[in-house]
Amino acid sequence: MLGLTLPTALREVYSLLGTRHDLTGNQDPLLRPSELFVHDEFGGVLVFRSENQGCAVWGVRLRNLGQDDPPVFVQSRDGWVRYLDRVSLACVELVLSETLLGSEGRLYNACELPASLIRELPSRFAPVEFPGYPMWTGKEESPVCWFSAPGKLLRLDGRSDHSWLHVRGSTFADLESLCAALPGHWVRGYSEPLEADELPF
């Protein structure tokens, strides 16, 4: 496999999640071991995750492969930027995002949230203790922040007016109550399943 030794943290991720495509392969998937490749830019990057249309990739710089849990970089619209300080954190984020955008579209929705509601999110939902990180689509949609409540998961892409909020409920009732609590222009009505080509990215 490319003649490279994977960092310990990345080897552990493949050992634990390598066959769990339900947790790692819904939107911007963890690449299978046979799909790993080296991107020649930025001094060489071992890529282990790719945006579903190939618009961005995530990886570890070749010079950092000897570290047990090295930083991860993303090739964003602003060039290569530091994503998260450790592979292990980046893979927690991967599972969170792939769960949020999972194959059961009926439990997912999204809207562009006005600034007034963005300011209210921390008082309405519990901030997830996870470091902010850049969205691959660029600075305007960064940092990405997470919130939660029983049966509810929320991801806010940026802090500017009308930033995208992605939400998921563990049940349809959870999703419906979440959307009702945040009056915005949701991508779909509560009763309509969201098709893959309707996702707002």
pLDDT confidence band for 24 (50 / 70 / 90): very high
Residues 112 and 56 in one domain: no
Query: What contacts 58, CB < 8 A, 6 or more positions away?
Result: 47, 48, 49, 50, 72, 73, 74, 75, 83, 90
- Whether 1 is in a domain gets the answer no
pLDDT exceeds 80 at position 113: yes
| Structural domain total, the chain | 2
pLDDT on residue 194 = 47
72 versus 193: the higher-pLDDT residue is 72
pLDDT confidence band for 93 (50 / 70 / 90): very high
3 versus 128: the higher-pLDDT residue is 128
Mean pLDDT of 173-181: 93
Sign of CA dihedral 98, 103, 105, 106: negative
pLDDT exceeds 80 at position 51: yes
Residues 33 and 53 in one domain: yes
- The upper half-sphere exposure of residue 38, i.e. CA atoms within 13 Å in the direction of its Cβ, equals 13
pLDDT exceeds 70 at position 193: no
- Whether 197 is in a domain gets the answer no
Give the whole-angstrom CA distance, residue 163 versus residue 181.
17
- Domain end position, chosen among 35, 66, 98: 98
Pick from 106-110, 145-149, 193-197 the range whose average pLDDT is largest. 145-149
Residues 64 and 78 in one domain: yes
- Whether 2 is in a domain gets the answer no
Query: For residue 138, is it left (φ>0), alpha (ψ between -120 and 50) or beta?
Result: left
Quick one: 193 exposed, middle or buried, by C-beta within 10 A (0-12, 13-18, 19+)? Answer: exposed
Mean pLDDT of 83-99: 96
pLDDT on residue 103 = 67
Residues 119 and 177 in one domain: yes
Mean pLDDT of 41-52: 95
pTM of the model: 0.87
Beta strands in the chain (DSSP E): 37-39, 45-50, 57-61, 72-76, 79-84, 108-113, 126-127, 144-149, 152-157, 163-169
Residues 55 and 20 in one domain: yes
- Whether 57 is in a domain gets the answer yes
pLDDT confidence band for 188 (50 / 70 / 90): confident
Residues 41 and 118 in one domain: no
pLDDT on residue 54 = 86
- Whether 70 is in a domain gets the answer yes
pLDDT exceeds 60 at position 181: yes
Quick one: 63 exposed, middle or buried, by C-beta within 10 A (0-12, 13-18, 19+)? Answer: exposed
Give the whole-angstrom CA distance, residue 61 versus residue 27.
23
- Whether 196 is in a domain gets the answer no
Residues 83 and 138 in one domain: no
- Domain end position, chosen among 77, 98, 119: 98
Q: Give the range of the structural domain holding residue 164, as residue numbers without chain letter.
A: 104-186
